[in-house]
Amino acid sequence: MAIDQEFADEYTKQEKIQLGILYFAIGAFIYITHEKWVFPWIRWYASTAYCHSVFGYSGVLALWAGLFVGLPIFFGLLIGACTVWPGIKTLKQGQYPPKGSKVFKPTKILRGKAATFRGLRLLLAPCLFVAIAIWGAFQVPRMPKENSMKLDYSVCKASQASTWTSIAEQWTPVNSALGTKEK
């Protein structure tokens, strides 16, 4: 005797297309902004980190802390924003996917221990990144410090001046569109 399986509600074809376009647009925006501004700024900062100080700490230490603590925390928050609420709903309702949520492909509804396990996985997903950040916090002091004998401090002034000049040049069209006067 076969037991009928319940399936979660699926997105309609129109909804799938709309969500696909939305996700593509968000991804394209993130890709373009990161390629144009974020990654060049990170490369510039990494190559001249010894020239900077962040809240009184060495720029190199700030770079290591951002890499080993900041990035895992950021990704933990990002993943947590997407997984914690469905995880809570799954545990409260005792089924996965939770009632009222839609899926992209035919998905059998899980109940009981399987749903509880899935809900706990959703809740604990960001914890992996928090654990990596805690581990990273203990690694930052062990990272190599800058060797002042090998550093070329002559690039510090030129590097800062050229970066601020290029940032100002990029914002010039925005300033003229807003009607602000250049000095």
Give 100-150 pLDDT, tens digit per residue. 899 999 999 999 999 999 999 999 999 999 999 999 999 998 888 766 667
What is the number of other CB atoms lying within 10 angstroms of the CB of residue 7?
13
- Is the confidence at residue 161, as pLDDT, over 90? no
129 domain-assigned:
yes
Secondary structure class of 59 (helix, strand, coil) = helix
Task: Please report which confidence band the pLDDT of residue 165 belongs to, taking 50, 70 and 90 as the band edges.
Answer: very low
47 domain-assigned:
yes
Q: What is the pLDDT of residue 4?
A: 61
Compute the distance between CA of residue 159 and CA of residue 163 in angstroms, rounded to an integer: 6
176: enclosing H helix or E strand? helix 154-178
CA 175 to mean position of chain CA atoms = 30
pLDDT tens profile 25-75:
999 999 999 999 999 988 988 888 888 888 888 888 889 999 999 999 999
Instruction: Judge whether 108 and 97 are in contact, CB under 8 Å.
Output: no
Secondary structure class of 96 (helix, strand, coil) = strand
58 domain-assigned:
yes
- The count of structural domains within the chain is 1
58: enclosing H helix or E strand? strand 57-58
Q: What is the pLDDT of residue 58?
A: 83
- What stretches of 34-112 show up as alpha helix (H) in DSSP? 39-47, 59-65, 71-93
131 domain-assigned:
yes
112 domain-assigned:
yes
| 11 or 152, which is more confident | 11
- The pTM for the full model equals 0.74
Peptide bond into 126 cis (omega under 30): no
178 domain-assigned:
no
Domain encompassing residue 101: 13-145
